[in-house]
């Protein structure tokens, strides 16, 4: 696979779309006192599932390498967010909500891995 200018622009556009979806979901499900950061949990789990499906399809040659790059690196890269998840977890700790912070880490990791694995297994 060669990174052509068209492919680079397509990855950038896909990443932008993913970032806009992430923003809209984080606005639709803002962090509320007493709750986990729902919007970021949703985008990370959904992005993991989409990436798992894309990798599974690419493994059996049902998805071209260029499209895998556009979907996984572009769209899912823009959609998911490690930095926001990390900051929101630190904010939970800073607010004295240790149990919620630990729960946020565990739920996000378990659901993210499960979604990526399920998507991968379903698509390959």
Number of domains in the chain: 1
Residues 5-60: tens digit of each pLDDT: 999 999 999 999 999 999 999 999 988 887 888 999 999 999 999 999 999 999 99
Task: State pTM to two decimals.
Answer: 0.93
Answer positive or negative: Cα dihedral of 86, 88, 92, 93: positive
CB proximity list for 20: less than 8 A, separation 6 or greater: 78
Kindly list the distances between the CA atom of residue 52 and the CA atoms of 34, 57, 59, 76, 89, in Å, as whole numbers in the listed order. Answer: 31, 9, 11, 10, 25
Residue 60 CA, distance from chain mean position? 23
What residue numbers bound the domain in which 49 lies? 5-28+37-123
Q: Over the chain, what is the mean pLDDT?
A: 95
């Amino acid at each position: 696979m060669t990174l052509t200018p068209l492919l680079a622009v397509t990855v950038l556009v896909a990443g932008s779309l993913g970032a806009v979806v992430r923003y809209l979901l984080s606005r639709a499900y803002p962090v509320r006192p007493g709750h986990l950061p729902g919007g970021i949990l949703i985008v990370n789990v959904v992005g993991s599932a989409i990436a798992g499906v894309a990798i599974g399809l690419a493994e059996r040659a049902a998805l071209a390498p260029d499209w895998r790059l556009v979907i996984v690196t572009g769209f899912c890269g823009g959609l998911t967010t490690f930095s926001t998840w990390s900051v929101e977890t630190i904010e939970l700790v800073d607010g004295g909500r240790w149990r919620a912070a630990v729960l946020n880490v565990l739920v996000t990791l378990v659901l993210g891995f499960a979604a990526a694995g399920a998507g991968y297994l379903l698509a390959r």
